[in-house]
Chains A and B, each alone.
Chain A
């Protein structure tokens, strides 16, 4: 059964304190791994797509990486406006399912 697990569930950082969020996946065949940001009361918004092990994507203070078993979302020198829930999702070969993890709630303190 396809599974996506995110850790930690919640993370509190001081402004400027860099850290990483983890997304581990067990799937029959990975088509793509996706990172989203979700603000309270809103739908998730797309951040990155990664397709193959070794791939990296960057956007401002965020950098996503992918291995054969997991993905990391690295946050460098975060600001309070980076506070949100970060979700990862996978699409798998042979189906049209799009499966999400449980998310990491990030709080960045000024």
Chain B
């Protein structure tokens, strides 16, 4: 009964390096979301996917790209990491937009 699984849990990158954060859910949910959480800033929406095959920008999309690979998986890519992208990243999924969200355990990313 995994729910939402994120990998990796921790990552350190050098400025300019690229990486992909992976997210998978096993609840057959349609909608998936990527957030970043910084101290005092709450959760800010980066990108979301309402359903398989669609993606949309959230509040803070600059510097990120996403792929909804299939119904289960939604990845977040940093093409050229910057220190401002140091944060904790959370993936979430929803069965329907007006229902509760289920979150992964987060990826703590540090860009040096």
User: Which chain A positions have C-beta within 8 A of B94?
Assistant: 98
A102 within 8 A of B: yes
- Residues of A within 8 Å of B59, CB to CB, are 99
Q: Is the Cβ of A31 less than 8 Å from the Cβ of B43?
A: no
Q: Are B101 and A46 in contact (CB under 8 A)?
A: yes
Chain A residues, Cβ within 8 Å of B43: 44, 87, 89, 100
Contact B99 A96 (CB under 8 A): no
Main secondary structure of the interface of A (DSSP, over half): strand
B45 to chain A, nearest CB (A): 6
Are the C-beta atoms of B103 and A97 separated by less than 8 Å?
A: no
CA gap between A37 and B9 in the complex, in Å: 20
By a CB distance below 8 angstroms, the chain A residues around B33 are 98
Q: Are A98 and B48 in contact (CB under 8 A)?
A: yes
Q: Which residues of chain A come closer than 8 Å to B92, judged between CB atoms?
A: 43, 98
User: Is A101's CB under 8 angstroms from B42's CB?
Assistant: yes
